[in-house]
Structures are given as structure tokens and as C-alpha cells.
A and B are shown apart, each in its own frame.
Chain A
Amino acid sequence: MSLLSVHDLRVEFATPDGIVKAVDGISFDVERGETLAIVGESGSGKSVSNLAYMGLLPKGKTKITGSVTLETDNGPVELIGMEPEDIRKIRGKDIAMIFQDPMSALHPFYSIGDQLVEAHQAHNKVEKSVSQERAIELLTLVGVADAKERLRAYPHQFSGGMRQRVMIAMALMNNPSVLIADEPTTALDVTVQAQILKLIADLQKKFKMAVILITHDLGVVAGAADRVNVMYAGKLVESASVDELYAKPKMPYTVGLLGSVPRMDRPHEDRLTAIPGQPPSLMKLSGGCAFAPRCTRKSEVPGNKCETTSPELIQISTGHYSRCHLYEGKTK
């Protein structure tokens, strides 16, 4: 049984303009110690799909269906539809998260010691001093020098990279089995990005956790992930091991994304324009493939099928899935 198993997860937001289908029936498994990368353009539902089963989406106007099961010390639990108080006990303990902007993700008014200790205290009935020892241990582990003194420092006294290290330390306070890293390096300098990714990989081995690495940068994924899920307009459009995906990308969107990996000879900003056009509005999705309006190969599929029929996610080779009419009937 997988550590984390997501089945047919759907998230809809009721907005004044209509229903937004932010996540439209995605399924995937995450194994112990594995790194799953989730890539896709901005707005494709990467964050929402993971916030949903963490119970972190605004309540009231949000509808979440499907099933997400997590293996815990007390056996498997279903996360969707869980009581707020029960899911709270899972958050930060079994599943921890780190976010994109480490400046705004830390509370500016509390010392980092305070914020680390409180993460431990939330799930452990122990003396403050015990949590403090744990905080020092983890700060040291993530590479913060003089951890004991630095506990009293405030977030603004750290650099961006150091803040993200603090966030990682905070996420690991309770030894989680899953770490969700939502674009952990996007807000950082290129040189620091590599250090943070390496740190996450090292800690992953040490703590034997699964990592879900969310990014819109396939360049980040290459060295870091085992599997890659590509998302487009709330759907999974391709899923494969990282080597397979780089060697034989199938879905034209994935091919486009790979073409937009930043390279030294191209300015950084250019990469967003690599796939011409915009992702569709999630409110009025047509019956066809959501990528069809931007797809350069749709004419290869006979009968205008891309515009009229939504393709299914099909297995192309062992462990390689793609949602594209081009490959229908060509499975091995």
C-alpha cells in the first residue's frame, strides 16, 4: 500500500463568476522515500490539489471530492472529509509543508525559536525545553550556524536562503512522513536554489520521507525527482519517471515545457513565452482537450477530435501515462 494515495480528487470553487474547476479528477500515489515532482504552468492546480487534502483551502465556497488516504502510525486514514480537529493533528506531524516565499511564510513578529518550538509543542506534550533542544538540533541540521543563539533572532535578520532553511527545519520538527514543498526555491537566487534542493534531498534520505516537489520549472526537477506529474488546467496530462519523461516526452504540452527549461544562453524571463498562448479559463472548459487551442500538433489527429473530445489518461509504456489523442491505440 502506498504511503499517500490520491484518487479522483476534485476541487471546485464557487466564485461570483461561476464554478472554477481548479482540480479535475487527479489520481496519483506517493511511496515512502520517493520524490514526486508536480509541474505545470501557473494556475494549473498544483498548489490547490495538495492544499485540498491538507484542509488548508478556505472553507465554505470550496467543494472537495475524491479520496486521499495516508498511512500513519495508526493505520491508513482518509483525509478528505476529515473533522477539522483530526486533520489538524496530521498537519505538521505526518504531512509537513514549506512554501514559496520564506519571507512572508514566517511570522515577522515572533522569533524563529518561538515559531519552531510552537510547531513541536502543537503535537507533543513535552516541556518547552525539550522542544527547544529539538529546534536547535534541526537548525543545526539544516545548516544554521550558532543555532542556540539564532533561536532568539527574528525572520528579518536572516537572508532568503537562510529563512527557507528555517522553514525546512520547522517542517521537520515532528519527523513527517511526507513533505510537500510548494515551489521552495522560486523566490530564491539561482545559486541558493541548488543548495536548498540539495538540502531537501539530503534530509529526505536521512529521515526517509516522501517529498512532493511542486514547481513550474522542469529544470529544477531533473536532478531532484523520481517521478514527474505534469498538470494542465486541473488535470494530470502526463506522468512518468523522470528519466523517461526527459527522454520521451509524449504530450505536446510536456514537450513545450521541456523546451522552456531555462538555459544559460537565454534570458530568464523568456521561458514563460516558450509555449505560445495562455492556459484556458477554468470556468468555461470546452468538451475537447484543454490544451488544444495551444497545441501545434492537433492537426495530426483526424476528425478535429482534439477540439471535441477530451482525451483519457492512457498508459503508453510501463509507468508512463499520457493524456493525448496522438498516442491512442499505440500502447504497448
Chain B
Amino acid sequence: MSGLLAYVSRRLAVTFLILLAVSFAVYLIFAFLPFDPATLTCGKNCNDPGIIEANRIRLGYDKPFYEQYWVFIVGLFAGRNYGEGAAAIHCAAPSFGYSFQQHACVTDLIGEALPVTLALAIGALVLWLILGIGLGVLSARFRGRVLDTASTIFVLIGTSLPTFLTGLMLIIFVVIKWHLLPFPAGGYSSPFEDFPGWLNTMILPWITLAFAYAALYTRFVRSQVIETSTEDYIRTARAKGLSEGLILGKHTLRAALAPIATMAGLDFAGLMGGAILTEAVFNLPGLGRLSLGAVLDYDLPIIVATTLLAAAIVVIMNLVLDLVYAFIDPRVRV
């Protein structure tokens, strides 16, 4: 157990270094983009040189690049003040910067959007894993039979329907035509304040996302299970007289789990960058919408922060996956 702890802390240290490098790279990229960040702070149609120069000094864009980066890093740990005196704006640690267009600290904006995307991604992940693994295993078990054919059709539809179409169709039929669910109020409420309302908001987005992924996972799990079932140790399990259910549920699935976990981890990390279409269709104020808006408005501080966040999630997810491998495969444990 202490070995595991040492391993995790070593990996966390490495993760921290990687994130530092990523943040530097992101900073570097945006520093050399052919935009004047100070001009961008006052919106698209603004060309008042007074405001621009004032913002340049307030945000530190007049300083050399490396100094800006240093201030950024310090801000992450100690918070940051923009401007001086009574007009100063304070963003508490961890400060990712200040968006002049939204008049808000980036950290606060992310703090509002992150739970939405997290809820969306986790709910969808749980749904599509249950559906994808269940259907995949069943169609591998009953290969070539009716169930397998039915699931092939499901896979075909799921992989070819774009999510925004699935989402729209769900809204049209489930909400508008059949009145199975009340019309979503729009926006997002925390599950801790209004749980039924939260479920009502999230259920269709979950289904929309999960539908597409479940189809992919059904196909993947099916092929993994079929491939694993030709392994020698599966023949051994059968030669021992184990029941087919035990062979499938224990021996085959355990061996197929590692690649499935890899895929799930990376897909989940990808979604955390924001499920832009799904968030747009269901009017969810998540990270996808935040980044999309920022890109359209050239809101640099937000773009830098969401890029960093996406990178951080991928790196952390890789750490989680390595721990999952160690749990699944004893040969990985040292």
C-alpha cells in the first residue's frame, strides 16, 4: 500500500511538471499570436485608444512575455490584482486572469461552467458504459443471432446520427409532442438545491451524448470480447467446466476491461473540454459554451484558461488510467 502511495505522489509530481510545461506552451502560443490582447479586451467594435492603453497596463500586457507568464503563475497561487487603488479588481487564487468582456474573474466563470460539464460528462459516461458494455457483451455472446443484428442496427444509427440531431429529436418528441418531460427551463441548477429539477435538466442531454458513445462502445466491447474469447485461458476456463456466464462475466470481461477503460478515460477527458453541440442544443452553461463564446469574442484570458484546463484533465486522466491498469492487471503492480 505504501508502494502505491509513493507511486501516486511521484506521478503527481510529474503531472505537476507536465502541467507547468503545458501552461508555458499555451502562454507562448498566445503571446505570439498576431493579436493585440489589449485591443481585444474592449470588445470587437471598440477602438478607443485611451481604454486600450489603460487595460494594457492594468492587465500587464505592456510587460515582456516572460514577466507576464511569471505574474500568471504567481496569480495561480496567490491571486492577482488588476489596476490600483479603489478601481482595482481582485481575483482570488487560483487566478486564471480577468475577462474584461465578461467583467469577471476567469476562475469564477470556470467555477460556474465546470460543474455543468462535469455533471453532463459523468452522467453520460455512466449511461453509455452500462449500455455499451451490456449490449457489447450480449451481442458477442449471441453472435449472429437476432440480438446481435439488432445491436448492429443500433450501432449504425448511433454512430451516424449527429448529436445535435439526436438532441433536437429528443426535445421535439419527448418534450413537445409526447409531454413526457416538462420543458427544460434552460440554464442549470445545482443538484444540491433542486434534485428533481436537475435530473429533469440533465436527462435528455445525458441520453443524447450517451446514445452516440454507447453505439461506439457496443461495437468496441463486442470486438474486444470476441477477441478475448479465443485466448488460451478462456479455453482453460471452459475445460474446467465453468459456466458460460462465469466465463464471460469474470474471465473474458476482466481481460477486455483494460482497453475499454482506456477508451472511456480518453473520451471522458475529451468531453470535459466541453460537449459543445450538446450544451448548445440544451442551452447548458458548460465549458463548451464558455470556450465557444470566448473564441468567437477573442476573449483571450478565457481561451488560455480553458485550454489549460483541457490539457490538465487529459494529463490527470492518464494518471487515473495508470492506476486503473494497476488495479486490473497484477503484472503492472510493482
Question: Which A residues are within 8 Å of any B CB, using their own CB?
Answer: 54, 56, 60, 84, 88-93, 96-97, 99, 101, 104-111, 118-119, 122-123, 154, 156, 167, 170
Contact B240 A92 (CB under 8 A): yes
Contact A107 B241 (CB under 8 A): no
Chain B residues closer than 8 Å to A93, beta-carbon distance:
241
- Number of contacts between A and B (CB, 8 Å)? 76
Contact A106 B236 (CB under 8 A): yes
* Interface residue count on the B side (C-beta < 8 Å): 22
Min CB gap B111→A, angstroms: 40
A109 touches which of B236, B246, B330 (Cβ 8 Å) = B330
Interface-lining segment among B4-12, B114-122, B201-209, B227-235: B227-235
Q: Quick one: which of B236, B239, B246, B328 has the most chain A CB within 10 A?
A: B239
- Expressed in whole angstroms, the Cα–Cα distance for A314 and B328 within the complex equals 56
Q: Knowing A91-B241, A107-B251, say if A99 contacts B331 (CB, 8 Å).
A: no
B241 touches which of A90, A101, A109, A154 (Cβ 8 Å) = A90
Contact A109 B242 (CB under 8 A): no
Chain A residues closer than 8 Å to B331, beta-carbon distance:
108, 154, 156
Contact B243 A106 (CB under 8 A): no
* Chain B residue with the shortest CB-CB distance to A90: B241
Contact A104 B239 (CB under 8 A): no
Q: Does B179 contact A (CB under 8 A)?
A: no
* Chain B residue with the shortest CB-CB distance to A154: B330
* Chain B residue with the shortest CB-CB distance to A101: B232
Chain B residues closer than 8 Å to A105, beta-carbon distance:
232-233, 235-236
Q: Does B170 contact A (CB under 8 A)?
A: no
Contact A107 B330 (CB under 8 A): no
- Expressed in whole angstroms, the Cα–Cα distance for A56 and B231 within the complex equals 13
Question: Which B residues are within 8 Å of any A CB, using their own CB?
Answer: 144, 231-233, 235-244, 246, 251, 254-255, 328-331
Min CB gap A44→B, angstroms: 20
Q: Knowing A99-B236, A101-B232, say if A108 contacts B329 (CB, 8 Å).
A: yes
Contact A91 B240 (CB under 8 A): yes
The binding surface of chain B is classed by DSSP as helix
- Expressed in whole angstroms, the Cα–Cα distance for A54 and B235 within the complex equals 11
- Expressed in whole angstroms, the Cα–Cα distance for A156 and B331 within the complex equals 7
Contact A156 B239 (CB under 8 A): no
Q: What 5 A-B pairs come out closest when comparing CB atoms? A: A92-B241, A104-B232, A92-B240, A91-B241, A107-B233
Given contacts A54-B239, A56-B235, A88-B243, 19 further A-B contacts (CB under 8 A): A56-B238, A56-B239, A91-B238, A92-B240, A97-B239, A101-B232, A104-B231, A107-B233, A107-B237, A109-B255, A109-B329, A110-B251, A119-B241, A119-B242, A122-B240, A122-B241, A122-B243, A154-B330, A170-B236
Contact A170 B241 (CB under 8 A): no
Chain A residues closer than 8 Å to B330, beta-carbon distance:
108-109, 111, 154, 156
B239 touches which of A96, A101, A110, A118 (Cβ 8 Å) = A96
Q: Quick one: which of A56, A93, A109, A110 has the most chain B CB within 10 A?
A: A109
9 sampled A-B residue pairs with Cβ under 8 A: A91-B240, A91-B241, A99-B235, A106-B236, A107-B254, A108-B329, A110-B254, A111-B330, A118-B242
Contact B242 A107 (CB under 8 A): no
Q: Knowing A99-B232, A106-B233, A108-B329, say if A123 contacts B238 (CB, 8 Å).
A: no
- Expressed in whole angstroms, the Cα–Cα distance for A290 and B144 within the complex equals 36
Min CB gap A278→B, angstroms: 26
Chain B residues closer than 8 Å to A97, beta-carbon distance:
236, 239
- Expressed in whole angstroms, the Cα–Cα distance for A111 and B331 within the complex equals 11
Chain A residues closer than 8 Å to B240, beta-carbon distance:
91-92, 96, 118-119, 122, 170
Min CB gap B92→A, angstroms: 47
Chain A residues closer than 8 Å to B233, beta-carbon distance:
104-108
Chain B residues closer than 8 Å to A108, beta-carbon distance:
233, 255, 329-331
Chain B residues closer than 8 Å to A99, beta-carbon distance:
232, 235-236, 239
Min CB gap A212→B, angstroms: 13
Chain A residues closer than 8 Å to B232, beta-carbon distance:
99, 101, 104-105
- Expressed in whole angstroms, the Cα–Cα distance for A322 and B115 within the complex equals 79
* Chain A residue with the shortest CB-CB distance to B231: A104
Min CB gap B327→A, angstroms: 10
Contact A92 B239 (CB under 8 A): yes
* Chain A residue with the shortest CB-CB distance to B333: A154
- Expressed in whole angstroms, the Cα–Cα distance for A96 and B241 within the complex equals 9
A89 touches which of B144, B241, B246, B251 (Cβ 8 Å) = B241
- Expressed in whole angstroms, the Cα–Cα distance for A258 and B186 within the complex equals 83
* Chain A residue with the shortest CB-CB distance to B255: A109
- Expressed in whole angstroms, the Cα–Cα distance for A106 and B236 within the complex equals 7
Chain B residues closer than 8 Å to A167, beta-carbon distance:
236
Chain A residues closer than 8 Å to B236, beta-carbon distance:
97, 99, 105-107, 167, 170
Min CB gap A14→B, angstroms: 14
Min CB gap A106→B, angstroms: 6
Chain B residues closer than 8 Å to A60, beta-carbon distance:
144
Contact A107 B239 (CB under 8 A): no
Chain A residues closer than 8 Å to B244, beta-carbon distance:
84
Contact B328 A109 (CB under 8 A): yes
Chain A residues closer than 8 Å to B241, beta-carbon distance:
88-93, 119, 122-123
Min CB gap B144→A, angstroms: 8
